[in-house]
């Protein structure tokens, strides 16, 4: 099923995978959500797993080297490299050849019409949100709560037209995060609040936000191993998008894979399944009631914008860049 067929479904059921990142010295907070049609989730995770096998003549991935169907043309060391956890921050030119190849495959899959996946990124400019008035760690959780929900609201309305057709949220998964796991509101109440936003076609089937690790090698559950691949893809989409927007690294491996996503960031109107926005356009002076203030600002002023500088120039890698990539992935 490609992404257009997803939108044609009469009763769409989706799973959501959420993760976050800090940019600079906590100057920006990025909240990214990957939207996966529930009926296609197993097929998507199988595609991501199979993309780990870098043998051109084979595409069936198994986690155990002893069961690898490639046989003698593989090795325990090569298999372990292909089984690496894909984190954008850990992709480095001096040791990441396998990670770069896998990351490129994943991003090309996401971009392709055969992929049913959608992605939304919200970047919070904390310098315009009077950080000195944020308060303690619990308030950071409150801020995340609100804009996590903004991500869902935008995507339900804009990607899936939930005001015109039924859309069921089956499950929401959040990458493990101590602050959010201990938050007194986020895991149990956030999705109840989502139902109060007046989205006519929305039904939430499970109100509990589930926290899962993205390290498939440390997980025994087969289902959660698959979910961890989707979390790694979410991390990759967040990382490459932020690299394009902020040009945070000059590492050639990061530049090489970020170039794969750059056309989506630069020409968002041409890609219906990808969207990135910045909040706020203008500075907001927060009172002690941070959440209430933000709610009021969002309600009365359109403070989200897709008009932001693209700091990473187009990157044209050459053969020498690629041959210099290291081979030792951990």
Residue the block writes with tokens 């991935």: 61
The pLDDT, as a whole number, for residue 285 is 64
Upper half-sphere CA count for residue 213 (Cβ side, 13 Å):
10
> For 126-154, how does the pLDDT look when each residue is reduced to its tens digit (9 = 90+)?
888 765 555 565 677 878 888 999 999 99
Which is higher by pLDDT, 24 or 135?
A: 24
Domain range annotation of the chain:
3-323
ω into 280 cis (within 30 of 0): yes
Helix 97-111 with 222-246: angle, nearest 10 deg = 90
> For 287-299, how does the pLDDT look when each residue is reduced to its tens digit (9 = 90+)?
444 444 455 445 4
Contact (CB, 8 A) for 191 and 172: yes
pLDDT surpassing 70 at residue 194: yes
Q: Whole-model pTM?
A: 0.90
Band (pLDDT 50/70/90 cuts) for residue 317 is: confident
> For 106-123, how does the pLDDT look when each residue is reduced to its tens digit (9 = 90+)?
999 999 999 999 999 999
Residue 328 phi/psi, 5-degree rounding, is -95, 95
pLDDT surpassing 90 at residue 179: no
């Amino acid at each position: 099923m490609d992404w257009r067929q997803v939108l044609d479904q009469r009763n769409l059921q989706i799973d959501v995978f959420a993760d976050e990142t800090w940019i600079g010295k906590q100057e920006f907070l990025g909240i990214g959500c990957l939207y996966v049609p529930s009926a296609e989730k197993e097929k998507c995770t199988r595609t991501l797993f199979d993309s780990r096998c870098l043998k051109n003549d084979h595409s069936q991935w198994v986690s155990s080297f002893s069961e690898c169907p490639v046989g003698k043309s593989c090795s325990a060391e090569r298999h372990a490299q292909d089984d690496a956890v894909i984190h954008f921050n850990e992709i480095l030119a001096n040791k990441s050849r396998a990670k770069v190849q896998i990351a490129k495959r994943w991003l090309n899959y996401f971009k392709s019409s055969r992929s049913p996946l959608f992605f939304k990124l919200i970047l919070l400019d904390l310098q315009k949100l009077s950080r000195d008035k944020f308060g303690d760690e619990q308030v950071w959780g409150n801020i995340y709560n609100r804009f996590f929900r903004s991500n869902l609201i935008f995507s339900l309305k804009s990607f899936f037209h939930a005001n015109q057709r039924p859309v069921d949220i089956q499950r929401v998964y959040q990458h493990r995060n101590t602050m959010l796991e201990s938050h007194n509101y986020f895991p149990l109440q956030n999705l109840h609040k989502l139902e109060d936003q007046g989205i006519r076609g929305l039904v939430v089937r499970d109100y509990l936000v589930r926290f899962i690790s993205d390290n498939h090698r440390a997980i025994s559950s087969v289902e959660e191993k698959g979910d961890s691949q989707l979390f790694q893809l979410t991390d990759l989409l967040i990382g490459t998008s932020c690299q394009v927007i902020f040009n945070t690294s000059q590492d050639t491996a990061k530049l090489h894979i970020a170039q794969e996503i750059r056309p989506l960031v630069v020409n968002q109107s041409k890609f219906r399944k990808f969207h990135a926005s910045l909040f706020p356009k203008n500075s907001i002076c927060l009172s002690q009631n941070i959440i209430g203030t933000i709610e009021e600002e969002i309600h009365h002023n359109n403070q989200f914008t897709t008009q932001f500088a693209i700091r990473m120039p187009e990157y044209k890698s050459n053969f020498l860049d690629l041959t210099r990539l290291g081979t030792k992935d951990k």
